[in-house]
């Protein structure tokens, strides 16, 4: 288990600052990195939810207003699954 706290904090800052400014193209890659490096990277779905709250929900988009939240959960699930596959094969 990776417990590199400074790295985690750095990734969190990058992701949340990107979310505040709407830079999804920065938040997603760094979020994937965090989901891969750290177990139970809950910051990713939280960042996705904050992005939806700021730019998605309440704009009349319906379920699409939660796209980044759903996407973040899916990415987290894929990263967890890939880690299991890689661990079993190594």
Partner 1 sequence: MTYLRPHNYARTKRNRLIATVAIGVVVIIGLTQFFAPYFFPTFFTALARPFWREEFALEIGAFRPTSNIIAENESLKMEIADLRMNYSSSSVAILESRYNDLLSMFGRASTSPTQYKLGSVLARPGALPYDELIIDIGQVDGIASTSKVYAAEKVLIGHVKELLAHSAKVILYSSPRETYDVLIGAKQIPARSIGRGGGGYTAEVPHGSLVQVGDIVTDGTLYGRAFGVVVSVLTDPSNPFDTVLFAVPVNIYQIRFVLVDLPKSNIRR
List residues binding partner 1 (CB under 8 A).
20-21, 40, 42, 49-50, 53-54, 57-58
* Residue 47 Cβ vs partner 1, minimum distance, rounded to whole Å: 11
* Residue 28 Cβ vs partner 1, minimum distance, rounded to whole Å: 18
Query: What is the rounded distance in angstroms from the CA atom of residue 13 to the CA atom of residue 77?
Result: 22
Query: What is the rounded distance in angstroms from the CA atom of residue 69 to the CA atom of residue 4?
Result: 25
Angle, CA 77 vertex, CA 76 and CA 80 arms, to 5°: 85
Give the residue with the Cβ less far from partner 1, 6 or 60: 60
Give the residue with the Cβ less far from partner 1, 40 or 87: 40
Place of tokens 């709407």: 22
């Amino acid at each position: 288990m990776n417990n590199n706290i400074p790295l985690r904090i750095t990734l969190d800052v990058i992701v949340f600052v990107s979310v505040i400014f709407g830079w999804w193209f920065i938040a997603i890659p760094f979020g994937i990195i965090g989901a891969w490096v750290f177990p139970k990277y809950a910051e990713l779905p939280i960042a996705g939810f904050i992005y939806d709250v700021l730019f998605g929900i309440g704009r009349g988009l319906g379920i699409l207003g939660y796209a980044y939240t759903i996407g973040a959960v899916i990415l987290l699930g894929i990263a967890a699954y890939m880690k299991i596959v890689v661990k079993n094969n190594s």
